[in-house]
Amino acid sequence: MSRLAEYIYKFKTTPKKIFMKQVYYKLKVRAVYEVYHVYDALFDTRKNYSEAKNLGVSLPFDVQEMDFSGLNKEKAEELWRMYSSHRFDLLGSGWVKNGFINNANGLDGYRYDSIELQADRAGDFLGFVMNKRSVKNSAKIWRMIDSDYEAIDWQKDYKSGYRWGADKWYRPQGNAKKPGGDIKVPWELARLQHFPRFALLAEILPEKSAEIFKEYCNQLLDFIAQNPPRMGVNYMCTMDVGIRAANIALSYSLFKQKGFSFSKDVERVLINFMFEQCNHIRKNLEWSDILTSNHYFADIAGLLYGSAVLPDCKKKEKWLQFAVEQIKQEIVKQFYEEGSNAEGSTAYHRLTGEMAVYSVALIHGLAVKGVCEDASQEVYNILYGAGKFTHDLTRPDGAFTQIGDNDSGLFFKLSFTGEMITPEKAVLKYNNLSNYKWENDKKYLDENLNDGRTFVSAVCGMTEKEEFVEEKRLYPLEYSLVRSLMNNTVIKTDLMSEKTDVNFEVEKLQYEASNSIMCATGNLTKGLERIAYPKFGIYIYKSPELYLCINATDNGQKGNAGHAHNDKLSYELFINGKCICEDAGTYVYTALPQERNKFRSTQMHNTIFVGKEQNEYINLFSMKSKTTCMCLQLEENRCTVKVEYDNVVHIRRFDVMDDRIDVTDYCNFEFESDGAVEERTRGYGKKVNIGYCD
């Protein structure tokens, strides 16, 4: 859809009062931006906050109460080897070194050479990567770094080599103008989610703790030096600024509590930078009268964590109170009473759920100190439901079912998920590693960012629910961090019981097809459990031998469908622990628009195809919401779901038998239904080779 057609569609489908209010808000924001733009064109964008002369404060948890026993030493050693050599594995990149060198592997055949520089001790190289007004103050910060340190290129998509620049203001920055360039890669790195891990590595590898702390300080100063406020790609999306602020706050607190001593100059730079980040968040909130989403939640969660470590002052108090109240409101607004999130995506449910549980745990810790009021019982009930939702959608292989978009987003990346495999197996498994350049590696850490059990463990730290005991055992770190933030308070929570028995009359349709999926051994119905999330539109059957997840979701985001797929009535199925069919996932967003649309298309999902998409694309993050789903039958051994769109009526019935699953489709149009989706991903950018079997 063209941009003009998109605007016309939005105008026609948005209530006029809300539309005009939104136009006024955007014009007002644009006017403020222009004032800043003129100012930033004349002066350095950095500001020295007088309040930053005072030391920061730690987040209100006790590091002595944290349980590091679940952190594997072999994985810790491998992570330290990677991080210390500036190698990162983000969004399907593989462990690639990111610096001012041209070593990009390329994305689907697209590869670019960006600038090559040698970072010098004086910081003269900064004149080539940022505007002249910023160089003087940036060079002062750069010279605080150890002389043998090698600079990271924070503005580059190191997968394709495409580069943005800190010499340009943050608002004109946009998606790559060439295919293959992915703006999410520098954004992901600039979230600095490996920073708290530096503190974890110092705990697991005490003999290297001084070296680890030095590298942490160097990378922190490197980022601050090369990323002046409002300059470059890493300020374009406030969500990423928020996640960055939270991760700096957590890493700073962990090191402080472990007794590591920041030099006075480094700590002052860090705290001043946190003032800059919080100020940027507050002035660039991703808020809309029409819709608030995971982006806005990341903004306010980052403002909460970022301001919590600032020294006491009026700015801190104002930012903190604003964030606290907004977080409590947004949880009720963005989650259903059953605990599921309104984004229409299970991965974005996990992301927003993480931000919510860690934020509310911090709010509780601050409330104990009399800083603010605690969250309501309604909020705590929703958070319990959010954890239960991911718990129930956890497959036998430990990953959650992918429904809708998955950008591998996390708030905190703490425990080491996944497994150590050989380089040979990594290449055999992942198509995106076909051009990967090995550096005499004997092992490969394949992290599993589809493992939502870390989030469930965090919810367990708040609720102590017995059903989450396995997640607590596997990932005790997340549990213990939340327990400590909560001041070891256990919140009694419950969910509203909803009627799950549904039995409507099923209409007769002209075309029909059936498929039986056999179970060679065992009994699928023994110990069978039926689980329903009617607000989200997910229905699950579980037993020791079976995992069946049925998708009858709406499009999320109040119909905007920004992270929804054309996947209605698709399903995931495991029998005896073996994956029979799974969702194809997402692959990438703006880097390859055709791939983006392909992976969210009807034919890429395990549902029928009648020659048209279930929902029409508006742009890469919006669709015309045409589908309406409902559950017609939900019984002990049978689930029947229905979707309607563009005069199409599709009904799919699932019958759970002792020795098989029967899937029957009915439609008023002729349809294709082979269910053989060969391409699949295991997180953003991680494409599994066709024919690969775990």
The Cα 184–Cα 587 span in angstroms is 12
Q: What angle do CA 101, 106, 107 make, to 5 degrees?
A: 145
pLDDT at 10: 65
pLDDT tops 70 at residue 4? no
CA 480 to CA 203: how far, in whole Å? 15
Report whether 267 contacts 210 (CB < 8 A). Answer: no
432: confidence class by pLDDT, cuts 50, 70, 90 = very high
The predicted-structure confidence for 484-520, as pLDDT tens digits, reads as follows: 999 999 999 988 665 567 778 888 899 999 999 998 8
**Average pLDDT of span 203-227:** 98
The CB density around residue 506, as the number of other CB atoms within 10 Å, is: 13
The pair of three-digit structure tokens given for residue 615, joined into one six-digit string: 């929902």
C-alpha pair distances (Å), 551 with each of 197, 534, 582: 36, 10, 12
Q: Is the pLDDT of residue 472 over 90?
A: yes
Which pLDDT does position 220 carry in this prediction? 98
Mean pLDDT of the 474-487 span: 98
At 676 the pLDDT is: 66
| Predicted TM-score (pTM) of this structure | 0.95
- Least confident piece of the model among 75-89, 262-276, 400-414, 420-434: 420-434
- Containing 628, the helix (H) or strand (E) segment is strand 628-634
Q: Which helix (H) or strand (E) holds 344?
A: none
- What pLDDT digit, counting tens, does each position of 41-50 carry? 889 999 999 9
The one-letter code for the residue type at 282 is R
Please name the residue ranges forming H helices in 284-343: 294-308, 314-334
Cβ atoms of 666 and 651 within 8 Å: the answer is yes
Q: What would the pLDDT profile of 583-603 be if each residue is shown by its tens digit?
A: 999 999 999 999 999 999 999
pLDDT digits (tens, 9 = 90+) for 371-380: 999 999 999 9
Compute the mean pLDDT over every residue in the chain, rounded to the nearest whole number. Answer: 94
Over residues 234-243, mean pLDDT: 98
Band the pLDDT of 33: cuts 50, 70, 90: confident
Is the pLDDT confidence value at 336 over 70? yes
Compute the distance between CA of residue 637 and CA of residue 537 in angstroms, rounded to an integer: 18
> What is 531-575 written as a DSSP string?
EEETTTTEEEEEETTEEEEEE----SGGGT-TT--S-TT-EEEEE
CA geometry: angle at 536 spanning 346 and 534, to 5°? 140
How many C-alpha atoms does 257 have within 13 Å on its Cβ side? 21
Contacts (Cβ under 8 Å, ≥6 apart) of 583: 401, 402, 403, 567, 570, 572, 605, 606, 680
Predicted local distance difference test score (pLDDT) of residue 12: 67
Let me know the angle formed at the C-alpha of 644 by 581 and 641, rounded to the nearest 5 degrees: 50
* CA proximity to 208, closest of 80, 113, 324: 80
Closest among 204, 17, 200, 194 to 89, alpha carbons compared: 194
> Would the pLDDT of 5 be above 70?
no
Could you tell me if 561 and 622 are in contact, meaning their C-beta atoms sit under 8 angstroms apart?
yes
Q: How confident is the model at residue 142 (pLDDT cuts 50, 70, 90)?
A: very high
pLDDT at 363 over 90: yes
The number of beta carbons lying within 10 Å of the beta carbon of residue 496 is 8
**Tokens in use for 532?**
């329903």
- In 3D space, the residue among 191, 205, 186, 187 whose CA is nearest the CA of residue 79 turns out to be 205
Mean pLDDT of 198-213: 98
pLDDT for residue 654: 97
- Tokens for 424, please give them: 């040979």
- What CA–CA distance (Å, rounded) separates 581 from 601? 17
The span from the CA of 349 to the CA of 344, in Å, is 8
Span 105-121, average pLDDT: 93
Confidence band, pLDDT 50/70/90 cuts, at residue 412: very high
DSSP reduced 3-state for 101: coil
Does the pLDDT value for residue 440 go beyond 90? Answer: no
Residue labelled with tokens 């939005």: 10
Name which of 131-140, 201-210, 528-537, 676-685 the model is least confident about.
676-685
Write the pLDDT tens digit of every residue in 636-680.
999 999 999 999 999 999 999 999 999 999 999 999 986 667 899
110 DSSP assignment:
B
Task: Give the pLDDT of residue 498.
Answer: 59
Query: What is the percent of the chain where pLDDT is above 90?
Result: 86
**pLDDT tens per residue, range 143-158:** 999 999 999 999 999 9
Contact 358, 412 (CB under 8 A): yes
DSSP 175: S
The encoded tokens of residue 292 equal 């608030």
1 band by pLDDT with thresholds 50, 70 and 90: low
**Is 80 exceeded by the pLDDT of residue 9?**
no
Specify the pLDDT at position 675: 64
Quick one: tokens of 679?
């391409």
Indicate whether 244 pLDDT > 70.
yes
What is the rounded radius of gyration, in angstroms, for the C-alpha atoms of the chain? 25
Full strand arrangement of the beta sheet holding 578-581: 529-533, 538-543, 546-551, 571-575, 578-581
Kindly indicate the confidence band of residue 30, based on its pLDDT and cuts at 50, 70 and 90: confident
pLDDT at 75 over 80: yes
pLDDT on residue 25? 67
Kindly report, residue by residue over 670-685, the tens digit of the pLDDT.
999 866 678 999 999 9
